[in-house]
A and B are shown apart, each in its own frame.
Chain A
């Protein structure tokens, strides 16, 4: 009996299957927990609870140490020896989310632009890779470009990963600029809903662009996408051995994405601590003031979208290569929301935070995803609890943390007046 079975039984209660009976039982449960908390509050010395704090100061320092993280990342696949291949597929998926989370952090965390359509970049990257490294365009190619490409079983376009990976990123970045241009004037929640709209539009187009010209192959998606090759080494080939260790496709892609994450972190970290990064911070804190101070807010906001989109697109391209098949249903709004939850739960504006957020939220999500709806129930409850207990995120950026502590006046519990007044 697994943990989730017990959880399921506890949630279900003893009164039978009728929804109202279950609800009544759960209400009693919640009431009892609430009463217990009320009774215990103030009776437990604070020091007794210290070990229960999600991440203490010591742990925080360890998790901010890049070398420790790299070592963990490199050695993690060894755990696969004990789990028989399941863990590595989960960690590989989480890795892709780490990349997305770092990319979205540029837009949401650094620049303060609430983006609910980040999945669009992921989708664009995946489709660019999928279309230009598969037989998808075979008909078009043979109709028009037959003199360029030889016909045969592997017809279609098959561009090398070295060219296609950056191109996928660049196209996604361009897409970011395209989304950014009409939304430059929008702020806050208006921006959120428009980006959400762009995300959905992207998916709907992917779903319907099989007519009049078959570009995306509609709902059934692009199939037979090439795996990634480096020299003669195919990442999709399951028969690579290094001594006794077998390098499965998941393991290959795990290390590929790991390297990509390192590169991403390097560049994003440089960006964050540069003139550009400081300008982004200024836009986040007060766009009008930033503009008055001589920052070209238009270009910098577009740059934020483009860089966020670039990394999202790269992640999408690797995703397409690893999956061999991509379909519009992989690019639901849910992905955007999941990534946003990772960024916020991890601590906005902090790179270690986005990584840890992706790992924690992703682990909770993927490890429970076999229990279809119940896992979402658990995920939702944990999400609410996490954000209520640590609204600033698990590992908030040190600068943001200082600002937040200054922001709230302890006596009144209200933010200072300037915060809610119109700018």
Chain B
């Protein structure tokens, strides 16, 4: 037991805690961006769009392709890197938006009135197709982008926050702001809110359901593309990246209150924090019985706890599930 206390005290430093917080927030901001896509689609169609994570994955490969074309390396100057990344982002957004639009049209629209689980199975099928397509015709290897944006700002003696992390955080907040404006202020946004509230009544009021749904998929997929760009700057990826990231993102959406934009954001940050703090400290807190390989357990345990305590998510005002 004395040994255990030793571990407990030695493993904990303020610097370490701040570093874990920063890591958690940046990871969470990516989860949040992907979660927005899940959340919006769920709000409008009450469908878990399992293929959304794979749209994100396609985005990471488009970014990889563009960065490859531009021939960027560790030594590339920012004058080249920034335009290249902008091109990559626009390309990824275009490809993902087109993909999301097509998936909805091909795999979900024919099943709009089918039994509730049918579109879910169709979504799983699409997810398999996308993953297997990339593995077959592109590559099944892991990829890492060169270290394009370098430099960091020191905060504490041992802690620093890198420019990439700042970019991730700021970009995701900006995207959320943009989305919130879109949903609250535009004509189509109003249509989305109407469909989410009551599909039939919205149709009766003259809302073009099909257009609203297509639009939702396009926006959600474009956001996933932005998330993909940010992901490639910091992490490695292969064709399965979308599944795991998508799973976490959906968890984030549920934690925050699904169908709710600030909720998805909050859920993403909370999940990122829980995961990074959990993985960082669980070993110390449990005297080494649990270690960081329990990271995903921590994320899911957090989700289960949240749902038991507050089944409708943190920010969800009303629950309108079907029995």
Q: Interface on A for B, CB 8 Å cutoff?
A: 12, 19, 22-23, 108, 112, 114, 182-183, 185-190, 192-194, 196-198, 200-201, 204-205, 207-208, 211-212, 285-288, 337, 340-341, 344-345, 348, 372-377, 379-384, 387-388, 391-392, 404, 408, 413-415, 417, 419-423
Contact = CB atoms under 8 A, between A and B. Distances in A.
Given A186-B307, A187-B321, A387 B121 contact: yes
B303 interface: yes
* Interface band, chain B: 35 or more
B217 interface: no
Interface stretch (B16-24, B71-79, B80-88, B195-203): B195-203
B111 interface: yes
A19 B125 contact: no
A194 B177 CA distance: 30
Interface of B: 42, 46, 48, 106-107, 110-111, 113-118, 120-122, 124-129, 131-133, 135-138, 140, 198-200, 203, 247, 250-251, 254, 258, 288-291, 293-294, 296-297, 300-301, 303-304, 307-308, 311, 318-323
B79 to A, nearest CB: 28
Contacts of B200: 414, 417, 420
A380 B117 contact: no
Given A376-B131, A377-B133, A384-B129, A414 B203 contact: yes
Contacts, number: 172
Interface of A is mostly: helix
B126 A380 contact: yes
Given A194-B303, A381-B129, A373 B247 contact: no
The 4 closest A-B pairs by CB, nearest first: A380-B128, A197-B300, A391-B114, A383-B125
Given A387-B111, A417-B200, A194 B117 contact: no
B321 A201 contact: no
Contact of B293 (A12, A193, A207, A387): A207
A388 B137 contact: no
Given A200-B300, A344-B121, A420-B322, A193 B250 contact: yes
Given A192-B48, A212-B289, A417-B200, A384 B126 contact: yes
B322 A188 contact: yes
B117 A201 contact: no
Contact of A404 (B48, B115, B135, B251): B115
B121 A197 contact: no
Contacts of B199: 414, 420
